[in-house]
């Protein structure tokens, strides 16, 4: 009998259309509630993180908690590229860290970084993340790994083109695309090469890539020619690292006129947000769609309203090549009874739409 993960993969690849996999991204903002700690304490404590992730899974056996949900959290989203190249994070008491010191302020800084060569994969926060990945590899329960596709072969490079942007600030990055395109290309080559080595280092711990989760919001910040020149090739270079696996691209921002262009992203699943019309996304792209209930709204609705929203969404998007989720990571303060309502609604619709 196939596992929940295997069935979700079949749905993603269009080989199965009688199930609505529920695939969420539940991480620090919610999981810190497990031990009733503030976020900083959660980030500092890998043992607590592991316990919280396992507890969430046991609480919701119907759900796959992807990406940061079952990966060690220590600036893993914004931190790897900027800090590998000399940037610094600021940590807060009860919110995610941010990049506070950029390694790149002037175009000459890119020349300096290029001369210094590609940093070690253990530079910056990546070093600590890799140590914690070893710990997770050692201790994450075998049954959960097999049933939900966790840990073994699960690679998370963090943000890629966006990571490169965070090393200098979005505004500079986006303006330099027009002002200093050669500098941006030079920088993206460095950042991407480091990122590939970081993926390789993860593979050495968890095994050959079977699933890759990449967060990158630049496709909704940059349109047309700039997207094709500065975003797509570098993003795809990372996705092709895992070309025999299932690749999930996370971006809940509105892509609007970029819809036909983002279709060229080499991923099987798009974790998308509520800002693009679902019918248009379905029609214009090849992806298995993962989403797209608006997280802050999902957190505030009643269970009954959630059941209605889920129904409306699934009837619009259709069953098959669709993973039900929030359109982004789950918001802090989301009541768990809302996740129960989501699951109930999905199972009811499955029975109804497949006449089981």
Smallest gap, in angstroms, from Cβ of residue 144 to other proteins? 29
Looking at residues 113 to 142 of the shown chain, list those that interact with other proteins (rule: CB under 8 A).
none
**Between 61 and 296, CB nearer to other proteins:** 296
Please count the residues of this chain forming the interface with other proteins, following the rule CB under 8 A. 24
Smallest gap, in angstroms, from Cβ of residue 219 to other proteins? 9
* 171 CB-near residues (< 8 Å, 6+ apart): none
Query: How far is the C-alpha of 306 from the C-alpha of 324, rounded, in Å?
Result: 12
Question: What would the two tokens of residue 286 be?
Answer: 């090849």
Looking at residues 185 to 224 of the shown chain, list those that interact with other proteins (rule: CB under 8 A).
220-223
**Between 19 and 162, CB nearer to other proteins:** 162
Smallest gap, in angstroms, from Cβ of residue 266 to other proteins? 21
CA dihedral 208, 235, 158, 118 (to 10 degrees): 80
**Between 169 and 318, CB nearer to other proteins:** 169
**Between 92 and 139, CB nearer to other proteins:** 92
**Between 63 and 222, CB nearer to other proteins:** 222
The candidate with the shortest Cα–Cα distance to 244, out of 159, 306, 155, is 155
**Between 207 and 223, CB nearer to other proteins:** 223
Query: How far is the C-alpha of 248 from the C-alpha of 285, rounded, in Å?
Result: 14
* 21 CB-near residues (< 8 Å, 6+ apart): 4, 7, 8, 11, 12, 64, 323, 324
Binding test (CB under 8 A) with other proteins, winner from 15, 44, 47, 92 = 92
Query: How far is the C-alpha of 36 from the C-alpha of 33, rounded, in Å?
Result: 4
Compute the Cα dihedral for 210, 213, 216, 220 and give only its sign.
Answer: positive
Which DSSP string corresponds to 98-115?
EEEE-S-SSHHHHHHHHH
**Between 59 and 105, CB nearer to other proteins:** 105
**Between 2 and 280, CB nearer to other proteins:** 280
Smallest gap, in angstroms, from Cβ of residue 310 to other proteins? 22
Binding test (CB under 8 A) with other proteins, winner from 4, 110, 174, 262 = 174
Site string for other proteins, 240-279 (x = CB under 8 A): --------------x-xxx---------------------
3-state DSSP of 20-58 = CCEEECCCHHHHHHHCCCCHHHHHHCHHHHHHHHHHHHH
Question: Of 11-19, 79-87, 122-130, 172-180, which segment contacts other proteins by CB under 8 A?
Answer: 172-180
Site string for other proteins, 65-84 (x = CB under 8 A): --------------------
Smallest gap, in angstroms, from Cβ of residue 184 to other proteins? 11
Query: How far is the C-alpha of 103 from the C-alpha of 87, rounded, in Å?
Result: 5
Give the largest Cα separation in the chain, rounded. Answer: 64
Looking at residues 93 to 112 of the shown chain, list those that interact with other proteins (rule: CB under 8 A).
95-98, 100, 102
Does 171 interact with other proteins (rule: CB under 8 A)? yes
237 three-state secondary structure: helix
Query: How far is the C-alpha of 257 from the C-alpha of 244, rounded, in Å?
Result: 30
For tokens 């790897």, name the residue.
80
Residues contributing to the site for other proteins (CB under 8 A):
90, 92, 95-98, 100, 102, 169-171, 174-175, 177-178, 220-223, 226, 254, 256-258
């Amino acid at each position: 009998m196939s596992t929940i993960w295997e069935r979700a993969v079949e749905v993603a690849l269009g080989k199965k259309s009688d199930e609505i996999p529920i695939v969420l991204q539940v991480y620090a903002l919610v999981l810190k509630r497990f031990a009733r700690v503030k976020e900083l304490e959660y980030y500092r404590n890998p043992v607590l993180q592991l316990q919280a992730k396992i507890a969430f899974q046991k609480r919701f056996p119907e759900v796959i908690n992807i990406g940061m949900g079952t990966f060690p959290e220590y600036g893993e989203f914004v931190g790897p590229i900027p800090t590998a190249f000399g940037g610094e994070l600021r940590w807060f008491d009860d919110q995610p860290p941010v990049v506070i010191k950029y390694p790149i302020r002037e175009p000459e800084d890119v020349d300096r970084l290029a001369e210094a060569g590609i940093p070690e994969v253990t530079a910056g926060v990546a070093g600590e993340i890799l140590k914690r990945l070893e710990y997770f590899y050692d201790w994450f329960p075998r049954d959960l790994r097999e049933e939900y596709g966790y840990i073994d072969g699960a690679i998370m490079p963090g943000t890629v083109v966006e990571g490169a942007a965070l090393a200098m600030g979005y505004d500079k990055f986006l303006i330099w695309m027009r002002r200093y395109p050669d500098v941006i290309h030079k920088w993206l080559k460095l950042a991407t090469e480091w990122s590939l080595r970081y993926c390789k280092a993860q593979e050495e711990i968890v095994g050959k890539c079977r699933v890759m989760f990449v967060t990158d919001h630049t496709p909704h910040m940059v349109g047309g020619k700039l997207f094709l020149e500065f975003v797509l090739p570098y993003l795809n270079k990372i996705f092709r690292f895992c070309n025999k696996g299932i690749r999930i691209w996370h971006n809940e921002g509105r892509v609007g006129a970029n819809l036909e262009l983002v279709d060229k992203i080499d991923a099987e699943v798009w974790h998308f947000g509520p800002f693009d019309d679902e019918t248009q996304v379905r029609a214009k792209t090849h992806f298995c769609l993962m989403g797209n209930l608006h997280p802050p709204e999902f957190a505030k609705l009643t269970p009954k309203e959630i059941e209605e929203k889920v129904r409306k969404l699934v009837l619009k998007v259709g069953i098959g090549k669709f993973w039900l989720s929030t359109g982004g990571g789950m918001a802090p303060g989301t009541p768990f009874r809302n996740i129960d309502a989501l699951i109930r609604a999905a199972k009811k619709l499955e029975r109804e739409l497949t006449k089981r």
